[in-house]
Amino acid sequence: MTVAVHGVGTSHFGRQPHRDLVALAADAVQEAFLDAGTDDIDAVWVGTVFGPPGVAQRVLRAMGVTGIPVVTVENACASGTTAFAEAHEAVRTGRHGRVLALGLEQMSTAFAGAITPEPTDPEGRSGLALPALYAMAAARYLHLGLATPEQLAAVSVKNHAHALHNPRAQYSGRHTVAEVLASRMIADPLTLLQCCPTSDGAAAAVLAPATGGAREVTVRGVALRSGAPWNHRSPHVWGHDLVRRTAMDAFAAAELLDATDVDVAEVHDAFTIGEIVTTEALGFVAPGDGGKAAAAGVTALGGVLPVNPSGGLLSRGHPLGATGLAQLAEIVWQLRGEARGRQVEGARLGLVETMGGGVSVLDGNSCVVAVLEAP
């Protein structure tokens, strides 16, 4: 059975400690229901990382969604897209007729800065937070000559400029490469403007069988993988191999040979190096060309393959459980031609990639890649 996204919705993204999870979720769910033209659903999958026990039922109860199966999933940064992948499978197999996927997170009240490392992992016990893990990948690229500091900064310049056209983004602005490099150092060589912010927000999608409706966005293929053991035998930095394997699964499901047919993408750019590595792992650019592509405008609006027209995690924000479904909402708007000032003209195929990390020994916690097609 072919599955389509019938409706999407999001909250605003940013530090919103005055708004609880119920309010954030209501923004997203009510907009998704209105977009889909119905609030009649058979089941809900909810992605969240730091939500309290029972958070899914609590926020849904406030909207009158009760008495149906509700499943909460935690899969690090890919929690929202994992909820989407499972909702898609439930509809595809006929288990449920219409399903809501919801992602939500309020991080501003949970963390003052970076996410606290897990002390049971050796890396966590040594204090290796995620900014430092990504910084190691960036340092490796610089050492091997695969990127320059200016190319890293170009990703930030691009995505902050994209966010100027996204009224729901947490940050936006016209920065120069020099300004990005001069911002406060967080984890050498990554500066403040190269790191995603602490964010609160929610995003939702309604999935149901495709009927050929004028605003339905078809799910061509979706894949979910968990990380595999990663050590010195891989020639790639952390995360690359997991993204590559998941992308190959998604392309096969979508009946695509590779990424060359994709017109627009939302990828996991929690740090500038993340977008560079991911564009290479997905096959958008050749190995070692991710930084060059960003600096040359290849991945900017108006370029050959626009990446993160929403502003990405760097600018839209990164409320972990909500991020994947926020990416999905952006691609749906793009494929419908509803993205206004950040619209990629003529986009027919869109891609979403979310990769979560933080588990010792593995090359990533989890990854979801989805390919969607315009009405």
Catalytic residues: 77, 318
Kindly list the distances between the CA atom of residue 89 and the CA atoms of 33, 184, 211, in Å, as whole numbers in the listed order.
Answer: 20, 44, 17
Is the dihedral angle over the CA atoms 118, 121, 123, 127 positive or is it negative?
Answer: positive
User: What count of Cα atoms within 13 Å lies in the side-chain half-sphere of residue 145?
Assistant: 0
Exposure class string for 281-299: b at 16+ Cβ within 10 A, else e = bbbbbeeebbbbbbbeebb
A 10 A CB-CB count for 360 gives 14
User: Token pair of 197, please?
Assistant: 């912010």
Q: Closest Cα partner for 121 from 287, 304, 358?
A: 358
CA dist., res. 155 & res. 153, Å (int): 5
User: Token pair of 373, please?
Assistant: 């097609």
Do strands 217-226 and 366-373 pair parallel, antiparallel, or not at all (unpaired)?
A: antiparallel
